[in-house]
Amino acid sequence: MVFAGTATADAYIVVFAVSVLVPLLFLLDVVGLDPFNWLSWVVALIAGAANAGFRWLIAAGVFWYMATNALGGQGRYHAGLPVVGFAHTPLLLIPLIANFTRLSSPILIYLVPAAWGVLIMSVGVQAVYDVPKDKAVLAGLAGAFGYFLAVFIFQI
């Protein structure tokens, strides 16, 4: 798997869409964020973009550290950014799971997309950092842990 130079930017677009646009649409629908108050939207988009970027960088750092230092893989930090970014895609399923199933527990609602994201990172770590298959799931779990750690640190 070879990523082009634009893959990191494409991955950030995915991270931004999942982490910023979907929650803002939720706020518009549920909380009633005023759609005509442009200043609140601009501030929310800028703060959300920065927050999403920091969470992505932290998750990718944990992913890279686990893959290279703990599991014996080889590669640079920036090679894992697209992998972790594209692993955010299953999180788009959360509103669908929450609205169209009878699951009431937030843990169960996050479980399926999180497992899918771990699988994406497990496959990506094999290609990007040359980690063996038997250890790849650990790197995927570390990336997911890094994401939830970053969410905990940058709560907004």
> Within a domain: residue 2?
no
> Within a domain: residue 1?
no
> Within a domain: residue 69?
yes
Q: Which one has a higher pLDDT value, 125 or 25?
A: 125
Number of domains into which the chain is organized:
1
Q: Which helix (H) or strand (E) holds 59?
A: helix 38-65
pLDDT category, 4, cuts 50, 70, 90? low
Tell me the pTM.
Answer: 0.80
pLDDT category, 1, cuts 50, 70, 90? very low
User: Tokens representing 47?
Assistant: 């703060």
pLDDT tens figures, 65-120: 999 999 989 988 888 999 999 998 888 887 777 777 776 777 777 888 889 999 99
Domain interval for residue 47: 7-153
- CB atoms under 10 Å from CB of 32, counted, come to 8
Task: List the one residue out of 91, 97, 131, 138 whose CA is nearest residue 114.
Answer: 91
